[in-house]
Amino acid sequence: MNPAIWLAVMVIGGVGAVTRFLVDRAVSRRVGRPFPFGTLAVNLSGALLLGFLGGLALSHEQALLMGTAFVGAYTTFSTWMLETHRLAEERQLWPAAANIVVSVALGMGAAFCGQWLAGLL
C-alpha cells in the first residue's frame, strides 16, 4: 500500500469517528433515557452501511477505505459492551440483556438489508 492510502485511511477513519460522536450525541439528546440508544443507532446504521458496501463490487482499496476506515471507526463494539456492562452493574439486567439481543438481532437484519439494497443496484 502506498502512503496516500494510509493517509486516506487516517482521514476517513477520523471522519467516521467524528460522525459516530455526532450521531450518538444527537440521538441521546433527543431520547434522553439511560438506555444507550445513541450507540444502538450508530451500530445499526453502521451494520446497514457495511452490508450495503459488502454487497457492492468494491476494489480492495475501496473496501479498505469505506468498510474498514469509515465504518470501522464509525461503529463501536467497545462502547456497546461498556454501556451493557454499566447497565448490568446498575442492576438494570433487562435493559442490559435487551441491549445485547436487540443489537445483535437488528444488526444482523440491518446488514442483510444493506446487502439486499446493494443487490438492487
Question: pLDDT, tens digit, for every residue of 81-117?
Answer: 999 999 999 999 999 999 999 999 999 999 999 999 9
Q: How far apart are CA 118 and CA 97, in angstroms?
A: 32
pLDDT digits (tens, 9 = 90+) for 31-50: 988 899 999 999 999 999 99
Residue 63, pLDDT above cutoff 80: yes
pLDDT digits (tens, 9 = 90+) for 64-80: 999 999 999 999 999 99
Q: Mean pLDDT across the chain, nearest whole number?
A: 96
Q: Domain of 106?
A: 1-117
Binding-site residue positions for Na(+): 72, 75
Binding-site residue positions: 72, 75
Q: How far apart are CA 51 and CA 29, in angstroms?
A: 27
Report the domain count for the chain.
1
Closest CA to 88 of 104, 31, 80: 80
Whole-prediction pTM value? 0.93
